[in-house]
Amino acid sequence: MNQAQQKKMIGIDLGGTSIKFGLISPEGKILRKVKRKTPSTKNFEEILKLIVGEVEKILRDNRLTKEEIHGVGIGFPGVANGNGDVVFANNLYWENKPLQKSLEKELSLRVKVGNDASLAGFGEFHFGAMKNTRNALLLTLGTGLGAGVIINGKVFHGSHYLGTEIGHMIVGENFYNCNCGNNGCLETFASATALVKYATYLLDAGETSSLKKTLEKQQKPVTPQQIIDAARRHDEVAEKALKRFIHYLAIGLSNLINIFDPEVIALGGGLSESGDVFLEELRRLTKTHTYVKEQNPTKIVIAELKNDAGILGSAMFLLED
């Protein structure tokens, strides 16, 4: 270990609804965790101020000087360039924001900025489901479909920091447009949003389902969890929606396996917590689509670190040069 690797780090997972902070030991132990609500204005300066205040507080509370800290790693939901500027972040309504430079200036600490799913993947690579691999992928199945790609032990960003947008890989024609403006993106088939939209579509088409009662009672769309629960009870609409989700996710996974030949693909995000209802079928279907079929050694597993992947990966990102 060099000197930098013996210092504690701060990892931040900046999201549209919450900002998570972690004080991380050089061995990857979470020494302290703080969660704050993301200001509803999503105003850049306001969020910057909150982050600076919280980092200063963590240092104070733990009697740490800035010299004793290796820096601050931060993952956010969007595209950054190689200089740590936010090119855009849709959930935060940000465009061209100098996140890294502003934080460095305010904190007088080293700061490194990256995409949240990429850094969550780096967390799983160091401490979770992708440990002891060289090439591995994390897909986060949430509102959208995010991805972290690790190649040769490093976070892969692409040549212009525009890569690994696996959620926007086009795999078919959908009945609604993706929020990127295209039609047929993987995340419009294989995300929590897609699952809800398709179940709603079937309900609107008049298909019989126990979810109809749920829908009438709550007067708002059914939740992904309600669909999963209904599928467990063999509700036809829920099963159809889940089957479609698995079908397209398997296409996505087999494409990724054909391109990257990773050791592991880990599935994270809210939907992965219900992995027991779809993992086996997903593995089976994926194998039928991959180029090398039965003998394909890529493991498809559920991610392990849950909400801690982001803060751990963001911190470890500081050690990667």
Give contact residues for Zn ion (rule: CB under 5 A).
Answer: 168, 178, 180, 182, 185
Nearer to Zn ion, 109 or 178 (CB): 178
> How near is the Cβ of 180 to Zn ion at its closest, in Å?
3
Nearer to Zn ion, 72 or 178 (CB): 178
Nearer to Zn ion, 19 or 190 (CB): 190
Cα separation, 316 vs 321, whole angstroms: 11
> How near is the Cβ of 169 to Zn ion at its closest, in Å?
9
Left (φ > 0), alpha (ψ -120 to 50) or beta: where does 90 sit?
Answer: alpha
Q: Which amino acid is at 112?
A: K
Nearer to Zn ion, 185 or 316 (CB): 185
Q: What is the 3-state secondary structure (H, E, C) of the chain?
A: CCCHHHCEEEEEEECCCEEEEEEECCCCCEEEEEEEECCCCCCHHHHHHHHHHHHHHHHHHCCCCHHHEEEEEEEECCEECCCCCEEEEHHHCEEEECHHHHHHHHHCCCEEEEEHHHHHHHHHHHHCCCCCCCCEEEEEECCCEEEEEEECCEECCCCCCCCCCHHHCECCCCCCECCCCCECEHHHCCCHHHHHHHHHHHHHCCCCCCHHHHHHHHCCCCCHHHHHHHHHCCCHHHHHHHHHHHHHHHHHHHHHHHHHCCCEEEEECHHHHHHHHCHHHHHHHHHHHCCCCCCCCCEEEECCCHHHHHHHHHHHHCCCC
Nearer to Zn ion, 144 or 224 (CB): 144
> How near is the Cβ of 95 to Zn ion at its closest, in Å?
18
> How near is the Cβ of 16 to Zn ion at its closest, in Å?
17
Left (φ > 0), alpha (ψ -120 to 50) or beta: where does 74 sit?
Answer: beta
Nearer to Zn ion, 187 or 308 (CB): 187
> How near is the Cβ of 202 to Zn ion at its closest, in Å?
22
Nearer to Zn ion, 145 or 215 (CB): 145
> How near is the Cβ of 145 to Zn ion at its closest, in Å?
9
> How near is the Cβ of 252 to Zn ion at its closest, in Å?
13
Cα separation, 22 vs 66, whole angstroms: 16
> How near is the Cβ of 185 to Zn ion at its closest, in Å?
3
Nearer to Zn ion, 48 or 180 (CB): 180
Nearer to Zn ion, 28 or 163 (CB): 163
> How near is the Cβ of 177 to Zn ion at its closest, in Å?
8
Structure tokens at 105: 């200036």
